[in-house]
Structure 1
């Protein structure tokens, strides 16, 4: 494979979108511009990493890219077929036109973001504009809720990649999501189609939650994002985490709610809950780790069984229909056991590579499906389009502690940064200013401006950054300057487990403490300066 673009043009094309300001939400959300864009399933740091890997021909990026290019929906010649009314369930079904076009928009958007090829950007824009200018309703039998959920979160993710692209009518697309998709999502979460709260399987809630979260993020509507997070934690339906994953078993396994139903829907559910967790993670909310990594334990359970191993099963009981008639499942279902879906790379790369946790069965399943394809690669029916896919290309990342600046720091973990010459103190905050004091927990993430570096986020979602050479804790304002100010390169600190943090955009200047304040100072070849600018990452 040879791309007819340089690495520099790849990164420039990808980065060009990130610095454009988000348009105001048509919902007039109180927290407009509070979210980072792009910031649903993918961030700009992700695309920088992906573009560099593809241009270098590095595996498995190369194989993932080739999988994307081979998919017919990623061709720039794809033409949309928009409908005024989408029907799923009952008579007159026509919803395949919607999911095929959404996946074509997403795949073309990916090709543009990674390669910078304008023809693919134009194709994605035109598909999205065609639908936002035409679609007025989603209807059908109860399956209309699945259509509004699955294709709602997918449409928002495709559109997020095109935010700021010339000619893309972002406000009209926001209106379509808010006026066509969201009301159906809202109705389901409120009354579950008039049925018993436990009647609908976890997938119904999960796809709806994913759509509400994605629409909230795309429309800068904090209330909708918060609603999805709250439902994930506290909802009464089967999609909330303690209902979707009702039983813990020995050996780090947790039973999925649909395991007694069939494995196709079980794997679909694992993919949906991973999608929700990834979108939340990219906005600073850790749902992956909620309830002691409960999602991870469910993924291991599902992967283990579908790889052919035995797993324990607790009898599952629930209420069915409008009157909550008693039902139960006493054994795990073997229906569709071993079915491949593109859900595993996302989960594997988060838990194993971001977090450094052992997930042997999730890893084995990711390796089995690698390189993951997307819509159209897993069958022609709707089940083959339940996930956006291409996880090998999109979610592959270096293992925690092995990438970025020589692997001196892990990412996706929380640490305090202790001073080595004043070991009872470390990097802390006094209001917005960085100081040396009782060290505060900081989540270490790939650098906002360069994935080879690091950024540090406090528990309030503020990033450590420099301004006028003082260190501060500020909320990301989405500008390229902020991202560069908040990105640091890790340098050896003179002994194992110690680091010095050099500014990305002011090379030769390091974070150091003086007079209990944190400054970005020019390096000095003295033992005093080296001690003042050296920190030890420690578990908080």
Structure 2
């Protein structure tokens, strides 16, 4: 899945609720982040995390859930087809048995794979079942989602090996989506187990992801910040929210290029990647830069899609929390979606782009960004629209993206 890299480990007691405070610096009063182009500027002051968090509010909101349910109940398309696809998947099964383990070990490309697939898919199943509960109002789905979340929160203690941060990010993106829906729309999850689940997120997941990873490929850190922000909403932790959003805003312009950035892209914030030659090497050898090109375009579209998806997910969650960052991201996101969509659709590849050869396979990652930019903001996106509609209903990548035609196609909320 992703290449191994050097990383430090933190010593922390998984049973101590305050352990994370030792690894996370307090949010600065003048936060780093947030220029209008989606860059990070030291000293810029931006809106803080909400004083009151909105729930459910990780990727999907209650108004969005109500819209989905109304469309499915009306047998309207594409939502009914997307719902049927979801309900036919293994993730919606009421006979699923969770497979938690104390230590999930994931090496490069999930080799070894000791619990990696189990954890990711159980987290996706919990989210799928939570959606199924809300749409059907059948409590069996909520009960099954709770069983899965309780099994993991009672068991897991750590993630190890080289892919640990990415594995933690992927599962940590799905868990809060599920937990938010169940906690705030269903009365059958015990207070004690909700607390235990939150402790799991704080002590097992956050320490692995909140500090980011400067020299990894960009999809890593973007996914890590997506998970961190989702977890911060569930925990109602304003300091973690602000820290994650600052790191996210700093990473976005190091992942998607705009010509307004200058002659070549920025290196990741805090890195020593700052010359054109160093940036070109980090951008997979690409030396010609155009609007919407990604740091991983010349690697492959699949990993590029992970990063684009995480960007849209973060923007969607922060919008639900009253901090709409789509306007500052819109140019990068629309150009990235359009640039990759046209080649995914089969446009001839110019010789200057990745040596004239691309590995496509963008995945089901366009619905959230397309809905925000095109449907809600009125931005024309011809190639992205064509690809999005062609791929409907968008299913799951079995990692951290799932059912986004159902949740976001044409959703006005």
Which of 183, 188, 194 aligns to 2:207? It is 183
- Residue in 2 that maps onto 1:248: 259
Contact kept in structure 2, 1:280 and 1:287, CA below 8 Å = yes
Distance in 2 between residues matched to 1:332 and 1:180, nearest whole Å: 43
- Where 1:138 maps in the other structure, the secondary structure is strand
- Residue in 2 that maps onto 1:203: 219
Contact kept in structure 1, 2:173 and 2:400, CA below 8 Å = no
- Residue in 2 that maps onto 1:270: 308
- Residue in 2 that maps onto 1:364: 386
Distance 1:332 1:225, change over 3 A: farther
Distance in 1 between residues matched to 2:86 and 2:113, nearest whole Å: 32
Distance 1:32 1:360, change over 3 A: closer
Question: What is the CA-CA distance between 1:310 and the residue it aligns to?
Answer: 4.1
- Residue in 1 that maps onto 2:94: 76
Distance 1:32 1:127, change over 3 A: farther
Contact kept in structure 2, 1:102 and 1:151, CA below 8 Å = yes
Contact kept in structure 1, 2:344 and 2:362, CA below 8 Å = no
Which structure dedicates a bigger proportion of its chain to strand?
1
- Where 1:162 maps in the other structure, the secondary structure is helix
1:224 paired to 2:237: no
- Residue in 2 that maps onto 1:159: 179
Stretches of structure 1 that go unaligned for 5 or more consecutive residues are 1-24, 235-239, 316-329, 375-383, 399-410, 412-445, 447-540
Which of 30, 53, 58 aligns to 1:35? It is 53
Distance in 1 between residues matched to 2:252 and 2:352, nearest whole Å: 17
Where do residues 45-444 of structure 1 align in structure 2 (5 Å cutoff)? 45-89=63-107, 91=112, 93-140=114-161, 142-164=162-184, 165=186, 166-168=188-190, 169-187=193-211, 189=212, 192=213, 197=214, 199-234=215-250, 240-248=251-259, 253-290=291-328, 293-310=331-348, 331=355, 333-335=357-359, 337=360, 339=361, 341-374=363-396, 384-397=397-410
Where do residues 451-462 of structure 1 align in structure 2 (5 Å cutoff)? none
Contact kept in structure 1, 2:104 and 2:114, CA below 8 Å = yes
Distance in 1 between residues matched to 2:349 and 2:253, nearest whole Å: 19
Contact kept in structure 2, 1:153 and 1:214, CA below 8 Å = yes
Contact kept in structure 2, 1:253 and 1:300, CA below 8 Å = no
Question: What is the CA-CA distance between 1:138 and the residue it aligns to?
Answer: 0.9
Distance in 1 between residues matched to 2:329 and 2:119, nearest whole Å: 36
Cα offsets for 1:264-287 (capped at 9, x unmatched):
111222112111111112112223
Alignment: residue pair count = 336
Stretches of structure 2 that go unaligned for 5 or more consecutive residues are 1-16, 28-48, 261-289
Which structure dedicates a bigger proportion of its chain to helix?
2
Question: What is the CA-CA distance between 1:107 and the residue it aligns to?
Answer: 0.8
Where do residues 386-535 of structure 1 align in structure 2 (5 Å cutoff)? 386-397=399-410, 446=413
Contact kept in structure 2, 1:301 and 1:311, CA below 8 Å = no
Question: What is the CA-CA distance between 1:172 and the residue it aligns to?
Answer: 0.8
Cα offsets for 1:377-420 (capped at 9, x unmatched):
xxxxxxx323332111110226xxxxxxxxxxxx7xxxxxxxxx
Contact kept in structure 2, 1:300 and 1:359, CA below 8 Å = yes
Question: What is the CA-CA distance between 1:340 and the residue it aligns to?
Answer: 5.3
- Structure scoring higher RCO (CA < 8 A, sep ≥ 6) equals 2
Question: What is the CA-CA distance between 1:353 and the residue it aligns to?
Answer: 0.7
Question: What is the CA-CA distance between 1:263 and the residue it aligns to?
Answer: 1.5
Q: TM-score, normalised by structure 2?
A: 0.75
- Where 2:326 maps in the other structure, the secondary structure is coil
Distance in 1 between residues matched to 2:124 and 2:77, nearest whole Å: 24
Question: What is the CA-CA distance between 1:365 and the residue it aligns to?
Answer: 1.1
Distance in 2 between residues matched to 1:65 and 1:55, nearest whole Å: 10
Question: What is the CA-CA distance between 1:341 and the residue it aligns to?
Answer: 1.7
Contact kept in structure 1, 2:364 and 2:395, CA below 8 Å = yes
Q: Which runs of 4+ in 1 moved over 3 A?
A: 25-33, 310-315, 330-333
Distance in 1 between residues matched to 2:132 and 2:329, nearest whole Å: 37
Contact kept in structure 2, 1:288 and 1:296, CA below 8 Å = no
Distance 1:345 1:32, change over 3 A: closer
Question: What is the CA-CA distance between 1:308 and the residue it aligns to?
Answer: 1.2
The structure that has the greater radius of gyration is: 1
